[in-house]
Structure 1
């Protein structure tokens, strides 16, 4: 039986380190679906568009998961990434040291198409499930994010991935 690795993709937090609703929805999915024997990989370093706090987003995510009864010893190294492509590239380095694993990539509903495109290329040799957690955003905010995703996907389709 393959060991499951839950990968929670980074998302915004405030300059003071407060996790956004998007972050909390992803992390709560992880809390609710974690089972003994799973491993957890948190992604997210810093970036003007999602984290300008002094702490890496992955560290903030781990702290939240620990506060919600996820055991310390199940965490893999952080993937200190600045974007979705780096999530996959840096996760691949960490995962390459493990054998007989399957991946569950946890992101948001509006982001899951692009995540599939990127992770299926960069981590093509892994068995993966993709979870698009409902984001519960205002319609106008959601539409802006969806438009951003559509543009990003179009660019990948047109130009390929650079990593």
Structure 2
């Protein structure tokens, strides 16, 4: 885990939200983003995630949550096209370019950090990353999801290869 430091933007990666409900692991990410936004004075929070498990995009649900906590609506940028972690990062990077943002901190969960870091490296994205380390979350969710993450990592490799080929052409 890197030190948070200052960055222009925080990128919060989405997590499947069923029936418009924010999953506890996504809530953990959002609470961490809120804390860091207040603590470090980041310019924006980018919430990233399409409508994967719900009629509403994950980004829409995340923005609503953060605004209700007190983050100014204009400080929360929505990326609503992505359907996986690779797309979360690619489309968030495009949004950063649109808003002329240079530095970022990705917020995810502990089980997801390694794959996120790998994807960032492959995409040439230089930024920080962090995850909350609550015991409740680790015992309740993350141990099980760590094993699913291994499978997801294998599925990520062909997606990254396609992206890299598209970028090269």
Alignment check: 8 A CA contact 1:9 1:106 kept: yes
The yes-or-no answer on 1:41 pairing with 2:42 is: no
Q: Once the 2 structures are TM-superposed, how far is the Cα of residue 156 of structure 1 from its aligned partner?
A: 4.8
Q: Secondary structure at the match of 1:25?
A: helix
Output the CA distance in 2 between the equivalents of 1:127 and 1:140: 31
Residue 117 of structure 1 corresponds to which residue in structure 2? 118
Unaligned runs of 5+ in 2: 1-5, 164-169
Q: Are 1:4 and 2:3 counterparts? A: no
Aligned match for 1:22, one of 25, 29, 37: 25
Distance 1:25 1:78 in 2: 19
Unaligned runs of 5+ in 1: none
CA distance in 1, matches of 2:30, 2:159: 32
Counterpart of 2:152 in structure 1 is 152
Scaled by the length of structure 2, the TM-score of the pair is 0.79
Q: Structure 1 residues 65-74 or 84-93, which shifts more?
A: 84-93
> In the comparison of the two structures, how many residue pairs are matched?
155
Structure 1 residue 140 displacement after superposition: 7.3
Residues 1:155 and 1:73: Cα distance change in structure 2 (over 3 Å): closer
> Pairwise mapping of residues 6-155 of structure 1 onto structure 2 (< 5 A)?
6-15=10-19, 17-35=20-38, 36-47=41-52, 51=53, 53-99=54-100, 101-122=102-123, 124=124, 126-134=125-133, 136-137=136-137, 139=139, 141-154=141-154
